[in-house]
Amino acid sequence: MLTSSEPEFAKHGFDITKVAFRIGFSFGQGGIAFGNKVLLNEEYSRYEQEDQLFMLAHESVHSAQWEKGYVYFAARYTWEEVRYNRREQYGVPRGLAGKTGPMDLRMGGYTLDRLADTIGHRVSPTSRIGEVR
């Protein structure tokens, strides 16, 4: 399903084919990435196809972020989980909506989840998950 998104990830220097997905316990999240291994929650199979694609892309961005430095990723992600409530942590930022070029997947000024939502929305623009805020 993600093969159509390979060009999007190639823009960011990440080989999407390295990511392995599995249904399993995801610590109360829709999905969770540990390096190139992604666990998706049990509800994933009931999502609409565009929402499944969004989730795969979103979690793949976290794999790419992890690959650029797992200690940095883990520390920043944990800090953002504590600092922001769920509403502020997710969603495509207005400043990135509609842009199609490469971007720093760890840039400051946006949460890691907002950056992941941006790519998820690029890959699956009709998904109801990745709303623009």
Q: Tell me the pLDDT of the chain (133 aa) as tens digits.
A: 677 678 888 888 889 899 999 999 988 888 999 999 999 999 999 999 999 999 999 999 999 999 999 999 999 999 998 888 776 788 888 888 888 888 899 999 899 999 999 999 988 988 988 777 6
Give exposure, 51-79, as e/b (b: 16+ Cβ within 10 Å). Answer: bbbbbbbbbbbbbbbbbeeeeebeebbee
- CATH code matching the domain that covers 2-123, chosen among 3.30.70, 1.10.10, 1.10.760, 2.60.120: 1.10.10
CB 9 within 8 A of CB 103: no
CA dihedral 76, 74, 123, 128 (to 10 degrees): -70
Indicate the domain borders of the chain.
2-123
pLDDT of residue 101: 85
Q: State CA 108 to chain mean position distance.
A: 16
